[in-house]
A and B are shown apart, each in its own frame.
Chain A
Amino acid sequence: MKKVIIEQIGNGILVGLGTCMLVFMVANSHWDVNGTSSFQFGPFGILFLAWLIVFGIIRLGLSKLDQSYHTGEGELSAGDERERKISQRALGWTYRVVFTLLIIELFGVPVMSIGFGSRLVLFRQAVVVVIGSTLIIGFLTYLVGWIYYDITE
């Protein structure tokens, strides 16, 4: 269970920081018609990069300590057949939740664009937040599903 908790919380932080970085980037970067461009990642860009390195080291350390954890498989790493079954079931939960959210967003984003009117930057930021949130919810769903099946089965 420890490996899944570490992996999913780490993934959640990574996507959270990535989302913040992109929200900042959308507001502070530009690409002009004359060919000049400027991209700024802001303080979240540094935090994102730092966490990427720290999380990579944590994952490597975890793979050395826990034989059932493989960096290539991440949260899908399984120590035995029971854990493999739990992973599949948790993945089923995640699949349903993420796809439901994506379908809602498919209809929600165009409606949202009307609401934002001419505030284009704000709309772009909102889309980034929506996508980032969906991914984080997906990670959390997998984590909750995994813990649930680990306790009940």
Chain B
Amino acid sequence: MIIIFINNNVLERRKRLGLTQAQLASSVNVTRRTIISMEKGKYTPSLLLALQLAKVLETDINNLFWLGGGESEKSNH
């Protein structure tokens, strides 16, 4: 069975912009727990939330989320 998952660098982008989890959560109207879960890679956000995050984190959605695999794919972004 092929397992497809989504990688993200929300944590890196958030830290680069100096935002706290609570600030990011507040700016996209979600709970802090959702941001934590996303940063751990446990939760895959909806397209709407992903687009909102990309806007707040001042990046392109493709740089924030990408189809998962190993570290090699992540390093391409």
Contacts and interface: CB of A to CB of B under 8 A. Distances in A.
Interface stretch (B2-10, B12-20, B25-33, B55-63): B25-33
Interface in A51-90: 68, 79-83
A150 to B, nearest CB: 7
Contacts of A82: 30-31, 33-34, 37, 43, 45
From A68, A82, A152, residue with most partner B Cβ within 10 Å: A82
Interface in A103-152: 150, 152
Nearest to A85: B43
Contacts of A81: 30, 34, 45-46, 49
Interface of A: 68, 79-83, 150, 152-153
Contacts of A152: 42
Query: Is the contact region of chain A dominated by helix, strand, or loop, or is it mixed?
Result: helix
A80 B52 CA distance: 13
A81 B33 CA distance: 12
A83 B49 CA distance: 13
Contacts of B37: 82, 153
Interface string B33-50: 110010000110110010
A79 B42 contact: no
A86 B34 CA distance: 11
A79 B43 contact: no
Nearest to B31: A79
Given A81-B49, A82-B37, A153 B30 contact: no
Nearest to A82: B34
A108 B43 CA distance: 42
B31 A80 contact: yes
Given A80-B29, A83-B34, A153-B42, 6 more contacts: A68-B31, A79-B31, A81-B30, A81-B46, A82-B34, A153-B37
